[in-house]
Amino acid sequence: MEELIAEIKDYDGLVVRSATKVTADIINAADNLKIIGRAGTGVDNVDVDAATKKGVIVMNTPSGNTISAAELTCALLMSLSRQEFMGAELYGKVLGIVGLGRIGKEVATRMQAFGMRTIGYDPITPPEVSASWGVEQMSLEQLWPQCDYITVHTPLMPSTVGLLNDETFAKCKKGVKVVNCARGGIIDEEALLKALESGQCGGAGLDVFIEEPPKNRSLVNHPNVISCPHLGASTKEAQARCGEDIALQIVDMVNGKNLVGAVNAQVLAGAFSQESQQLIRLGEAVGAVLHSCSASRKPFSHAHIITQGSGDSMKSCGGYLTSAVLVGLLNHESGCSANLINVQSLAKESGIAVNQSHCASEEAGLCKVEVVADGHSYKARGSVQGGVPVLLELSGSVFRQPVSLTGNLLFLQASADPQLLPSVAGVLASEGVQIESFSAPVDHTGDVWYCVGVSSLLQDLSVLKPLVKNVAQLSI
């Protein structure tokens, strides 16, 4: 681990199997890290929360080793049936499969070839789906007493820790044989040892342990246990598949082509088209404008993002557009390095209440944002025109021409005044800054917002203070 912490600093990507524990310390030491690729299924060896907070994508290759893990499970079931001089046929016996996902399904169809009756339980896989591959679903209460063999194929999570425990072993047939090729702890290790000692459990095939390799050897050394050191995925074929899958998935992600296998970046799914990229740039730019214009009144307490338009892209972009706006709002905060992966959790940590809604309308796609900082509301409305993000309105001031949200921009709030432009131009010229564009609001009453495109940002914004009520600048 020390070695990885020292080495990881300059790397953009990290690919691991299950033995490498990617802890928060490793993730936080990785200044450039953008992606953690798990060449395999379970991501319980990666601190996914820490990665998400750091804005790092975690991705796995969930189907590359399915067949290998299923085959090892079947090999253990067969070995358990013939472990002694006098064995027992699998034919006609009942196999209970807890977890009917990828591996559970492959185990079922293989063991049916031996004439086993396959029953199972899964809270997500519909009974009619598992029935189509020969597994009758039932509650665990109904399942335990019927099984001659039980195999578990769930992820390790609070609801699956100790699925087989003292209480559930007691509900099983005496002499039931169990296999765990999923994760250590799904079958409670102490309960299993007790059941093996009492004969309630007639044998166990274990590929995984709570601690790997297990320091406590009581299960491994038990005469009725057949054990492997986490070899379910260790075949040439599975390793070739997982290695190739993770490499291709990372290359696709880096090339902005596709996002496959990400476990913590749901917001990015479907955000790779050119249209989505333009909307993301719009969201970030609108967020950045509101960040600059409300600079004196932080922190934000509320952000409401409304998408408007009838097109499919506007209906489906809410998730990533909201995140993009938040990136623009938060990215310039000191010490904050927000991106689309971590920004929702950063916003939550900063106490910003975020709302998102969509309003179907015949108008072209619009992104409207309202933020509240120190009790004051700031609003912006923008869209994408000709592939470029533009600002149409800022806090009640509708611009005569859409403001192109690119380059160096100055936002000025002042009383409506035709003399403002020449006065501002004079001050800017004396600072060596040229005006490249100027957008005035339609309205001429009260305090209004102007936007000025400039050749470079001002060193000292206060030179404009005598002319305006409020001034902000940013570079997009």
Ligand X SMILES: O=C(O)C(=O)COP(=O)(O)O
Ligand Y SMILES: NC(=O)C1=CN([C@@H]2O[C@H](COP(=O)(O)OP(=O)(O)OC[C@H]3O[C@@H](n4cnc5c(N)ncnc54)[C@H](O)[C@@H]3O)[C@@H](O)[C@H]2O)C=CC1
Residues 107-126 that bind ligand Y (CB under 6 A): 121-125
Number of residues that bind ligand X (CB under 6 A): 11
Residue 155 touching ligand Y (CB under 6 A): yes
CB of 60 to ligand Y, least distance (A): 9
Three-class HEC string of 283-305:
HHHHHHHHHHHCHHHCCEEEEEE
The entry of ligand X, ligand Y, none near residue 185 (CB within 5 to 8 angstroms by kind) is: none
Residue 65 touching ligand X (CB under 6 A): yes
Residue 19 touching ligand X (CB under 6 A): yes
What's the CA gap between 37 and 112, in Å, rounded? 35
The site map against ligand Y for 163-202 (x = CB under 6 A) is: ------------------xxx-------------------
Handedness of CA 282, 267, 370, 338 (dihedral sign): negative
The entry of ligand X, ligand Y, none near residue 17 (CB within 5 to 8 angstroms by kind) is: ligand X
**Strand runs labelled E in 64-189:** 94-98, 117-121, 136-137, 149-152, 176-180
The entry of ligand X, ligand Y, none near residue 207 (CB within 5 to 8 angstroms by kind) is: ligand Y
368 strand-pairing partners: 306, 381
The entry of ligand Y, ligand X, none near residue 173 (CB within 5 to 8 angstroms by kind) is: none
Q: Is 212 a catalytic residue?
A: yes
Among 234, 301, 313, 423, binds ligand X (CB under 6 A): 234
Q: Assess whether the previous peptide bond of 389 is cis (omega < 30° from 0).
A: no
Residue 307 touching ligand X (CB under 6 A): no
Q: How far is CA 111 from the centre of its chain?
A: 35
Residue 18 touching ligand X (CB under 6 A): yes
Residue 16 touching ligand Y (CB under 6 A): no
Number of residues that bind ligand Y (CB under 6 A): 32
Among 96, 99, 232, 287, binds ligand X (CB under 6 A): 232
What's the CA gap between 17 and 243, in Å, rounded? 10
What's the CA gap between 357 and 296, in Å, rounded? 28
What's the CA gap between 458 and 106, in Å, rounded? 65
Among 98, 135, 354, 420, binds ligand Y (CB under 6 A): 98
What's the CA gap between 177 and 94, in Å, rounded? 11
What's the CA gap between 278 and 286, in Å, rounded? 12
CB of 232 to ligand Y, least distance (A): 3
Residue 403: Cβ within 10 Å count: 26
Q: Is 117 a catalytic residue?
A: no
Q: Is 444 a catalytic residue?
A: no
Residue 233 touching ligand X (CB under 6 A): yes
Token reading at 286: 């609108």
Three-class HEC string of 81-96:
HCCCCCCCCCCCCEEE
Which one of the spans 150-158, 193-201, 285-293, 430-438 is the region binding ligand Y (CB under 6 A)? 150-158
User: Which residues of the chain form contacts with ligand X (CB under 6 A)?
Assistant: 17-19, 40-42, 65, 230, 232-234
User: Which residues of the chain form contacts with ligand Y (CB under 6 A)?
Assistant: 41-42, 62, 65-66, 69, 98-104, 121-125, 153-156, 159-160, 181-183, 207-208, 230, 232-233
Q: Which residues are catalytic?
A: 183, 212, 230
